[in-house]
Structure 1
Amino acid sequence: MPEQLNTRVEACFEQAEAFFKRTFKRPVVSFQLRGQKAGVAHLHENLLRFNPQLYRENIEDFLRQTVPHEVAHLIAHQLFGDRIQPHGEEWQLIMRGVYELPPNRCHTYAIKRRSVTRYIYRCPCPDSDFAFSAQRHSMVRQGRRYLCRRCRSTLEFSGEMRVE
């Protein structure tokens, strides 16, 4: 795990401790997050998970904005308990007051979407292409049947696939 990220997490906690004049329990920090989220705070486990790919592609903003965003969730939970909204006024107070950052709910990092294969199914209706996911295609191969909503015929695999 990048040392810069751990250092930034610690700095965010120290900043919050100076602001609130109390100590906060340090979390476990993990780099085991994939997909579209840059970071996730697991409040009850006191765990921060970060996306290594988005970190590598956006290091500066990630350290400046994403790390404090997730730390603020843990701080808000330790201060105010379970009954607060994830991006509610308590969290916003920490983002603005402690970290002097805008309380943005979502990142704006470019996400590379992975390609997916679609399996084309048809019925007797004209222009009837139904793109099935791999999971749905597998269900058909296991005996499941899907019907066209118009003609009520069983959808049949055309043998065609496309990558999206």
Structure 2
Amino acid sequence: MKPTHIPIALHQAVMQCLRAKLQQADAYFSCRFPEPALSYRQRGTIAGTAWLEQWEIRLNPVLLLANEATFIDEVIPHELAHLLVYRQFGRVAPHGQQWRWMMSEVLLTEPRRTHNFDVATVRATTFHYRCGCQSHHLTVRRHNRVLRGEAQYRCRHCGDILCFAQ
């Protein structure tokens, strides 16, 4: 299902969480952070992305609609933490010490790196590849890059170049 829009009540719940977490950060740091831009343009299996320089959070509308409360409670603070860390510390490891600290101490949220949402409805078609030690599944984009001769991919374990298994 590809929604064309998010229901107003759901968008308001997202904004309420975002603003509440932003207020926590404001109080903790005794300053006022600007409200980040919010869009529902994230696709694929990724729940959300923080665009640091643009001060923007992009959310996956399909995963939001399927996991409303859990999505809001986990993904909004997660992405906001990335923006706050960038503002306070500059470029650091995405889920490193500063991010974990921001999540737990400032936003009072468990610092989880990944979500556990069912992604069957948003998972893209993959293509079967093999190396010397295992099988791999490449996305359409990577598969097409291999076919056009633009890229080769290697196994992280054995170092072999991946070959299309057809």
Q: TM-score range by the shorter chain?
A: 0.5 to 0.7
Distance 2:66 2:38 in 1: 19
From the CA coordinates, give the structure whose radius of gyration is larger.
1
Structure 2 match to 1:56: 65
For residue 54 of structure 1, give the secondary structure of its aligned residue in structure 2: helix
Unaligned runs of 5+ in 2: 1-5, 128-139, 150-165
Q: TM-score, normalised by structure 1?
A: 0.68
Counterpart amino acid of 1:67? Answer: I
For residue 34 of structure 2, give the secondary structure of its aligned residue in structure 1: coil
Distance 2:57 2:94 in 1: 14
Q: What are the superposed Cα offsets for residues 59-118 of structure 1, whole Å, 9 maximum, x if unpaired?
A: 111111110000011111111112x11111111111110222221111010101556497
Please report how far the alpha carbon of residue 21 of structure 1 lies from its aligned counterpart in structure 2 after TM superposition.
1.1
Pick the aligned partner of 1:67 from 64, 76, 99.
76
Q: TM-score, normalised by structure 2?
A: 0.67
Pick the aligned partner of 2:44 from 23, 35, 45.
35
Q: What are the superposed Cα offsets for residues 4-47 of structure 1, whole Å, 9 maximum, x if unpaired?
A: 11121111111111111111122110011110110100001111
Equivalences for 1:1-150 in 2 at 5 Å? 1=6, 2-82=11-91, 84-112=92-120, 113-114=122-123, 116=125
For residue 57 of structure 2, give the secondary structure of its aligned residue in structure 1: strand
For residue 106 of structure 1, give the secondary structure of its aligned residue in structure 2: coil
Runs of 4+ aligned residues of structure 1 deviating over 3 Å after TM superposition are 113-118, 133-136
Distance 2:63 2:123 in 1: 14
Distance 1:115 1:7 in 2: 32
CA RMSD of aligned residues (A): 2.5
Would the alpha carbon gap of residues 115 and 5 (structure 1) be closer, same or farther in structure 2, given more than 3 Å must change? closer
Structure 2 match to 1:128: none
Distance 1:110 1:117 in 2: 17
CA contact (8 A) 2:85 2:98 kept: yes
Distance 2:126 2:96 in 1: 39
Structure 2 match to 1:153: none
Identity %: 31
How many pairs are equivalent? 125
Unaligned runs of 5+ in 1: 119-132, 145-161
Distance 1:6 1:102 in 2: 20
